[in-house]
Structure 1
Amino acid sequence: MANGPFHLPTSRLIAIAVVAGLTAGAIGVYVMGGMSGNNAPEMSAADPAAENACAAKIEAAKAAGDAAQGEVAAMLGASPPQDLSGLAFNAPDGAPMTIADLSGKTLLVNLWATWCAPCRHEMPALNQLQKDMGDDRFEVVAVNVDTGDDEKPKRFLEETNVDALGYYRDSTLGLFNDLKRRGLALGLPVTLLIDDEGCMLANMNGPAEWASPDAKRLIDAAM
């Protein structure tokens, strides 16, 4: 009975566990999904000109998708690319901002929370990616979405020596819900690769090894 229900291959069991974990994370977020965002309680109306400009970047999105291999193979090229310049959250100084405020840089935007185990696991790698590649052309924008005050997320960053990432924040889940309405977020973590004009070239749900050579090749391809 090697193929019976009580003798699943190890790889199959791992896959089931991963899916279950992602589903549990998604449920944890959706339970609190009724809140509105810091400075965008509803998904902002699309700018037709910006949407059209982003949609025309099919080749750039395809290049990003083709470059997503190995440790970052779950990153999917956008089809079509879309304008995310209006995504709203808070800057490290607490002021409201959007992706448009970071125009001119290629961005790896990552949504994370302290209660999300895969998020916690990948934060040091995101920190290292920022140390290795962050400059005036590229930034890792890790946005914490814990509800409540700043004490818990800041303590986590300090305890794990995450010192290169800006403390971007949305304590209301408005940002996550905006991405959920766009069909881009199933749970946490969520990662978006956005070009210097605010166009999403690729996205993924789930964690990755962001300090790897594979991740760096992906960023190079996007820039």
Structure 2
Amino acid sequence: MAETTPLIRQPLFVVAVFGAAILGAGLALVTGRLAGKDRAEVAQCAMAAETLDRLRPLARGELAAVKVPSTPQPLPPLSFEGPDGRRLTLADFKGRTVLLNLWATWCAPCRQEMPALDALQADLGGDDFEVVAVNIDTRDPEKPQEWLKQAGITRLAHYRDPQAKIFQELKSAGKAFGMPTTLVIGPEGCAVAELAGPAEWHSQDAVAFVRAALGR
């Protein structure tokens, strides 16, 4: 029996080492891919750095609470429904500057700033810019559209996420702390400004800020 024990253990040891090597190689491959993706996102966002230089001195007055990060920020793959019910992601807006606003009918500050967002879209909206106001009401899907109609909001497309996952994803990324939540996203798909709370988005300060984000 003393002679057979090593013969049994040796193959098991070899299998264990071989399995560990395969596992390690797999983890290294996955880690490498993730690291490569992170590096690509950082490099892509670095292209928006000069936008931050234009925005920082303009975060004042009506937009004094806006935070302009030290570097452009990658965002999670946010998704929501478009006016036709089709699922969209931020990638669908790549090449355009977006003012992403999360709102709900139960949020009084959200309702208060919607007319200004509507006016901002009317003045600056076009091929290179859109106010993307995403409603996150989780009940009564007809209520947001009814409220927009009653409030005379006619220029904003009706985007929505009835599961409110977009808020949770931004919260997990440290980009949402309450309602409303607003991000300015450059054409590279990276956040160049963020705001927790309402603002007068059609004020002189806000229009100048968005124009600077557009490089106008």
CA offsets 1:70-97 (integer angstroms, 9 cap, x no match): 1111111123311237211111111111
Are residues 1:172 and 2:172 paired?
A: no
CA offsets 1:164-221 (integer angstroms, 9 cap, x no match): 0010100111100000001111110000000111111010100000111111100111
CA offsets 1:145-180 (integer angstroms, 9 cap, x no match): 000242111111011010000101001111000000
Partner of residue 148, structure 1: 139
Distance verdict in 2 for CA 1:117–1:72, change over 3 Å? same
- Structure 1 window deviating more from structure 2 (160-169 vs 73-82): it is 73-82
Are residues 1:138 and 2:129 paired?
A: yes
**TM-score of the superposition, structure 2-length normalised?**
0.78
1:107 equivalent among 94, 98, 107 = 98
Preserved CA contact (<8 Å) 1:85 1:99: no
Using the TM superposition, give the Cα deviation of residue 66 of structure 1 relative to its aligned residue in structure 2, in angstroms.
2.0
- In the alignment, residue 172 of structure 2 is paired with which amino acid? R
1:57 equivalent among 45, 48, 54 = 48
> Aligned residue pairs: how many?
179
In the aligned structure 2, how far is the partner of 1:103 from the partner of 1:58?
A: 17
- In the alignment, residue 71 of structure 1 is paired with which amino acid? E
CA offsets 1:96-131 (integer angstroms, 9 cap, x no match): 111110112111100000000000000010000000
Partner of residue 97, structure 1: 88
Partner of residue 79, structure 1: 70
- In the alignment, residue 206 of structure 2 is paired with which amino acid? A
Partner of residue 217, structure 1: 208
- In the alignment, residue 146 of structure 1 is paired with which amino acid? D
Structure with bigger helix share is 2
Partner of residue 186, structure 1: 177
Kindly report structure 1 stretches of 4+ aligned residues shifted beyond 3 Å.
Answer: 55-59
Partner of residue 20, structure 1: none
Residue aligned with 2:44, SS: helix
Partner of residue 200, structure 1: 191
Preserved CA contact (<8 Å) 1:62 1:77: no
Using the TM superposition, give the Cα deviation of residue 67 of structure 1 relative to its aligned residue in structure 2, in angstroms.
1.6
Preserved CA contact (<8 Å) 2:75 2:189: yes
Question: Which ranges in structure 2 are unaligned for 5 or more consecutive residues?
Answer: 1-33
Question: Which ranges in structure 1 are unaligned for 5 or more consecutive residues?
Answer: 1-44
In the aligned structure 2, how far is the partner of 1:222 from the partner of 1:167?
A: 23
Preserved CA contact (<8 Å) 1:109 1:142: yes
